[in-house]
Amino acid sequence: MIDPLVKSFEPYRVVEGNYRIRLDKNENPYDLPDWVKEEMFEELRELSLNRYPHVTSMPAREAIADFYGLSPENVAVGNGGDELIGHLVRLFRGNHVVVTPPTFGMYTFYARLNGFPLVEVPLREDFTLDGGAVAERSKNAKVIFIASPNNPTGNLQPEEEIIEVLETGKPVVLDEAYAEFAGKSLWRLIEEYPNLVVLRTFSKAFGLAGVRAGYFLAGEEVVEALYRIKSPFSVGVMTMAAVGVVLRHPALMEKRVAKIIEERERIRRKFGEFTYPSDANFLLMRLNAHGFLLKRGIVVRKLAGRLEGHIRVTVGRRWENDELIRALKDYLEAEGCG
């Protein structure tokens, strides 16, 4: 009864259970303060929950457009960045989807789900993008996905390599889910490159992972095309209200980002030998410590393939990071590297 293609997928699994410290999903460790939630409740009071949300999410697109000084025609909003990735694999003409492993798994997931061939152009040894190699393999590409900062390696990709890919004229999705932590974004290039789609999310720096809101910035033609195929009501009125409120408080977001960066560097200094530099809110570590940490009540992401024996650790609150540091020191000692 079930399509064999569907059977070929593994269900999305995360470590469930009551662990004390969750550093596995690159979430913001700080919930929004009560005064911000109160503002959201005030907005909700005014909403008609019996009515469907705006069909192309105009209230949220206007708020985001104002934030960037763009037109809402350059903004598309989805139920998390993931929903938009699901559409972006289908939007463009061409044969295959290009990805640059090791990178975010959802590009491959949605390409396979749609039955599109995949072309993998691995990142270099140091995890930088090989723009020339990507361009070379993209002659017949539908779309090219590049994450910068990349997940799970944490590094920003060099601008000149990205430009080299953009110069092919093929559609490029530049996934900047973690850009606020890097303090650098190439979103302004959408004015120069109509083939550029810059994907962003409210799940990380803005701390709204539970709300589900993502967006992309792109030329009008791409935004218009997206709204031809997107589920009409996937972004609810409560989501749009929450987005409007957090965008009114960028200083709060920036303060938290600064704190997370400070903590990130504190952890990195302790384990420099085993830790890659990061431009995001997580660290890639060459430590096979997933099982050890789990026993201490700390969940991190276990990596596989080229990153076998590595873990990805989300930066948490200070006390959580303290516990992580203590546990990793014990791990190294037990391994004889302490």
Q: Which is nearer to ligand PMP, 129 or 147 (CB)?
A: 147
Q: 58: closest CA among 175, 190, 233, 249? A: 233
- Nearest distance from C-beta of residue 76 to ligand PMP, angstroms: 13
**The three-state (H, E, C) secondary structure of the chain, written as one string:** CCCHHHHCCCCCCCCCCCCCEEECCCCCCCCCCHHHHHHHHHHHHHCCCCCCCCCCCHHHHHHHHHHHCCCHHHEEEECHHHHHHHHHCCCCCCCEEEECCCCCCHHHHHHHHCCCCEEECCCCCCCCCCHHHHHHCCCCEEEEEEECCCCCCCCCCCHHHHHHHHCCCCCEEEECCCHHHHCCCCHHHHHCCCCEEEEEECCCCCCCCCCCCEEEEECHHHHHHHHHHCCCCCCCHHHHHHHHHHHCCHHHHHHHHHHHHHHHHHHHHHCHHHECCCCCCEEEECCCCHHHHHHCCEEEEECCHHHCCCEEEECCCHHHHHHHHHHHHHHHHHCCCC
Q: Which is nearer to ligand PMP, 61 or 292 (CB)?
A: 61
- Nearest distance from C-beta of residue 312 to ligand PMP, angstroms: 10
- Nearest distance from C-beta of residue 273 to ligand PMP, angstroms: 26
- Nearest distance from C-beta of residue 105 to ligand PMP, angstroms: 9
Q: Which is nearer to ligand PMP, 81 or 102 (CB)?
A: 81
Q: Which is nearer to ligand PMP, 147 or 328 (CB)?
A: 147
For binding to ligand PMP (CB under 6 A), which residues are involved? 26, 80-82, 104, 147, 151, 175, 177, 201, 203, 209, 214
Q: 262: closest CA among 321, 195, 212? A: 321
- Nearest distance from C-beta of residue 157 to ligand PMP, angstroms: 12
Q: Which is nearer to ligand PMP, 173 or 324 (CB)?
A: 173
Q: Which is nearer to ligand PMP, 209 or 332 (CB)?
A: 209
Q: Which is nearer to ligand PMP, 177 or 190 (CB)?
A: 177
